[in-house]
Structure 1
Amino acid sequence: MPKKVDHQERRTLIADALMRVAAAQGLEAVSLRHVAAAAGVSAGMVQHYFRTKDEMMAFALSVVRERSQARVTDAVARLGDNPPPRRLLRTMLAALLPLDERTRDDGRVALAFLAYTAVRPSAAPRLHEDTAQFTGFIAGLLPDRHGSAAAAGLLALMEGLGVYLLGGQYTTAQALDALDAHLDLLFGASSAA
C-alpha cells in the first residue's frame, strides 16, 4: 500500500527550513540546496513543492503571518471581553514585537521579507493588503481626533522598534517604554490602564 503523504506538512517543513536559513544567514543564503539541507530532504523534493524561490518565499511569509496572528489572538484572548482600545492596541503591537528568541527568528524573517519585496514588487501584494487592513483596524481604535495617518505612524513605530530590537539597539524594556510613550501621546497618559 502506498504511503500517504501530507503535502501541507511537507510544505510547512520546507518553509520552516527556509525560515531557519533566512533567520541565521539572511535571505541571500536561501537556495533550494540550502533549504533542502536544512529540512533534511532532497533538492528535488523542494522543487516538487515550490517551483521557484518566490513561491517558497511567499509560502514561508504566510507561515510567519499565521504565527504572528496566532500570537496576537492568544494575547488578546487573555484580555477578556471588551478591553479598552489602548490596552488592546498595546497588547496587539507588543505581541508582534520580537521580544524573545522565538519571536526574534520570525522577526528576522519578516524583516528579510520586507527587504525582499522592496526589490520584488510582485511578491508584495499580500503585504500591501495586510498593511492596509491593519492600519484601518488601528485607526478604528484610536481616539476620534486621530486618523489613518496616526495609525500608519503607530504601525511604523512598531516596525521600527522591531528593527531596533533585532539589531540589539533597544532592550525589551526600552521598546515597550517607547510604545507606551507613543500610546500616551495618542490616548493621553491617564488611559494607560
Structure 2
Amino acid sequence: MPRQVDYEERRLRIAEAVCALIARSGMEAVSLRDVATEADVSMGAVQRCFHTKEDMLLFALEHVSQRVSERADQRIAAASTPQAASTLLSHTLAELALLDEASKTQAHVWLAFVSRAPAGERLPAVLRDTYGKLHDLIVWLIRYGQDTQEIPEHLDAVQEAHTLLAVADGLTVHVLAGHHSPEVALAVLQRHVDHLLR
C-alpha cells in the first residue's frame, strides 16, 4: 500500500511541476528533463509515472480541473447562504473564471491547454468533456434555482448556461491580459447572475 501512495503523490508532484513550468514559461518549457528538475525527481521517475508527454500533460490538466472543483466546493461551503441558487451560481462561476491571485497559475495553465487543443490528439476530447461537465453543472444550478423559485421558470437553462460559461471563460482572458481587474470581472459575473434572478 505505501508504494501506491508514493506513486500517486509523485504523479501529483509531477503535475504541479508541469503547471508551474507552464505558468512560468509556457507550454514549450515542458520537457521531461525540466519537469523532473522542477518536481525534484529523476527522469526515470517521470517516465515510470507517465508513458508519454501527452499522458503527463493530460494528467496535469485533470489535476487543475480537480483543484478548481475543490475550491468551488470549499467556497460554497463557507458561504453564509450555501443553499441559495444565487450563492451556488456566483461562487461556482467565480471559481471557474479563475480570477483571484491564488488561481492565476491555473488560469495560465488552462489557457495554455486551450490554445494547444487544435494541435493535440486527445487534448481536444478532454477539453470538450471538461467544458461539457461544466456546462451541465451550470444547467443543474440554474434548474435548481428554478425549482427553488429564485430563477424564473421561463428561462432556458441550457442557453443561459452557455452564456454564463462563455462569460466566465472570457473574463479569465481579460483578467490575465490586464484588461479587467478581478473585482471588475466579479462584478460582471454577478450582474449576469443577478439578471437570472429577476
Aligned counterparts of 1:111 and 1:103: Cα–Cα separation in 2: 12
Name the TM-score, length of structure 1 as normaliser: 0.87
What is the RMSD of the two structures over their aligned residues, measured on CA atoms?
2.0
- Structure 1 residue runs without a partner (length 5+): 189-193
Q: Runs ≥4 in structure 1, deviation > 6 angstroms?
A: none
Q: Does 1:132 align with 2:132?
A: yes
Instruction: Please say which of residues 79-88 and 56-65 is displaced more in the overlay.
Output: 79-88
SS at match of 1:14: helix
Equivalent residue for 1:149, pick from 153, 159, 166: 159
Aligned counterparts of 1:172 and 1:44: Cα–Cα separation in 2: 41
Aligned counterparts of 2:140 and 2:15: Cα–Cα separation in 1: 34
Q: How many percent of aligned residue pairs carry the same amino acid? A: 34
Aligned counterparts of 1:97 and 1:123: Cα–Cα separation in 2: 20
Aligned counterparts of 1:134 and 1:100: Cα–Cα separation in 2: 19
Matches within 5 A, 1:3-152: 4=3, 6-79=6-79, 83-142=83-142, 143=151, 144=153, 145-152=155-162
Do the aligned partners of 1:98 and 1:166 also contact (CA within 8 Å) in 2?
no
Amino acid of the structure 2 residue aligned with 1:22: I
Q: Does 1:160 align with 2:170?
A: yes
Tell me how far 1:103 sits from its aligned partner: 0.8
Tell me how far 1:80 sits from its aligned partner: 5.8
Do the aligned partners of 1:98 and 1:165 also contact (CA within 8 Å) in 2?
no
Aligned counterparts of 1:4 and 1:137: Cα–Cα separation in 2: 35
Q: Alpha-carbon deviations, 1:95-132, whole Å to 9, x = none?
A: 23333332100111111111222321422333322322
- Structure 2 residue runs without a partner (length 5+): 143-150
Instruction: Please say which of residues 40-49 and 10-19 is displaced more in the overlay.
Output: 40-49
Equivalent residue for 2:196, pick from 186, 189, 193: 186
Tell me how far 1:90 sits from its aligned partner: 0.5
Do the aligned partners of 1:139 and 1:146 also contact (CA within 8 Å) in 2?
no
In the superposition, relative to structure 1, how do residues 78 and 42 fare at CA in structure 2: closer, same or farther (>3 Å)?
same
Do the aligned partners of 1:15 and 1:63 also contact (CA within 8 Å) in 2?
yes
Do the aligned partners of 2:22 and 2:30 also contact (CA within 8 Å) in 1?
yes
Aligned counterparts of 2:157 and 2:100: Cα–Cα separation in 1: 31
Which residue is 2:182 aligned to? Answer: 172
Question: What is the number of equivalent residue pairs in this alignment?
Answer: 186
Instruction: Please say which of residues 97-106 and 3-12 is displaced more in the overlay.
Output: 3-12
SS at match of 1:124: helix
Do the aligned partners of 1:146 and 1:186 also contact (CA within 8 Å) in 2?
no
